[in-house]
Amino acid sequence: MTDIDVLDWQARFDRRIMRSIGMPLAKLDHGRGARVWDDAGHEYLDFLAGIAVNSLGHAHPVFVEAVTAQASRLAHVSNYFTTEPALELAERLIRLAGAGEHGRAWFGNSGAEANEAAFKLARLNNSGGARSRVVALVDGFHGRTMGSLALTGKPHMREAFEPLPGGVEHIPATIAALEATIDESVAALFVEPIQGEAGVVELPDGFMTAARELTERHGALLIVDEIQTGAGRTGQWFGFQHSGITPDAITVAKGIGGGFPIGGLVTFGRASSLYSKGQHGSTFGGNPLATAVANAVLDEIETGGLVENAAARGGQIRERVDAIGSPLVTGTRGRGLLLGVALAEPVAMPLAAEAMRAGLIVNAANDSTIRMAPPLIIGDAEVDEFADKFSRALDAVASTRR
């Protein structure tokens, strides 16, 4: 592909795709495992996995077989019917989350749709109108639809679309802020176990325990957004499981479908009885194609030991980044295969671009953080390859700073 070819597809994109996103970094053609190729034949080691989505990498045989087999039977049936894949996925998620005998699941098509369902769940926990407040965290990200945007604590994402659904307050991720905020007027607290869009930031020690204790004491729901941290990515099936607490609900998406669009809400205990008939739905939610693929993806993660692999490879990546010894790197954070590399200077964008030139896909979560979320299938050799390419990218950026 020539420079003229690149300019041609970029011009087509600029002319015909809605300007709600930036210009794509490349026009990808195909993928296999942890690698993708653009239509000029350039190969990239994919350490972003569609932002934590492609948990089995690209074109995994299990994924391909599940799509093909289910598409040949039933692809869609609407909310008037159910299918075995939907029932099986609900039972599987309830088991993996430890939601117990009262656990229930609802399915939509995306993480934002899952958080919309959770937002409405919070509104139902209203004690006859006495609970009108919903609390979320300042640096939290929960999606771009109007309800999920109201929960998102980033002003630059919200301001152009105000007024948003009301009654939402954003507090810092501190135990002191929790203690000052949670009372009998709060319907729900939304948290992410690791704030991916904020730069892969973990919550302070003891935060989840305090959140659980305070919400339980005052009758508020604790709703955990597991959209980026779920499906084994952090070295546990769900991020909340690192803290030993039991939430009232979790939202899921991204990695559970391994690239097929699906989202969902899983409820625990009394939260499972808040919705009643006719209060929520989704035409495509829980369709047999999406749920069959999700079952196959989660089965492969479970039987293939990929949760344990995420924990092991995550530790290995941290060691490799430390061993590079670049003065631009101040440390790594996160868990499992959801990692952020903290930078001493605001060079994340040029560093991600240099990594791409070296054949490595990573992401600038903000000006001074590189985010990595490789597929759960990566092995030792790919981690070594990552370290080599990332080291070269760091050297290239460092050379421009001298």
Instruction: Note the pLDDT tens digit of each residue in 183-201.
Output: 999 999 999 999 999 999 9
pLDDT of residue 344: 97
pLDDT band at 61 (very low <50, low <70, confident <90, very high): very high
What CATH number labels 64-304? 3.40.640.10
d(CA 110, CA 303): 25
pLDDT exceeds 90 at position 4? no
User: Is residue 222 within a helix (H) or strand (E), and if so which, with residue range?
Assistant: strand 221-225
Which residue, chain included where needed, has tokens 């909310």? Answer: 79
Instruction: Note the pLDDT tens digit of each residue in 16-43.
Output: 999 898 999 999 999 999 999 999 999 9
pLDDT exceeds 80 at position 338? yes
pLDDT band at 6 (very low <50, low <70, confident <90, very high): confident
pLDDT exceeds 80 at position 402? no
Q: Residue 151: name the closest of 184, 120, 175, 180 by CA.
A: 120
- Residue 296's alpha-carbon distances to 58, 78, 366, 373, in angstroms, are 14, 21, 34, 21
Which residue, chain included where needed, has tokens 């730069």? Answer: 199
pLDDT exceeds 90 at position 5? no
Give the global pTM: 0.96
Segment 263-268 mean pLDDT: 98
pLDDT exceeds 90 at position 112? yes
Residues 6 or more apart whose CB falls under 8 angstroms from that of 192 comprise: 137, 140, 141, 142, 224, 225, 227, 228, 229, 239
| Contact indicator for 214, 178 with CB cutoff of 8 Å | yes
Residues 6 or more apart whose CB falls under 8 angstroms from that of 391 comprise: 324, 326
pLDDT of residue 1: 65
In this structure, which topology does domain 25-54+305-400 adopt according to CATH? Aspartate Aminotransferase, domain 1 (3.90.1150)
Residue spans of the domains in the chain: they are 25-54+305-400, 64-304
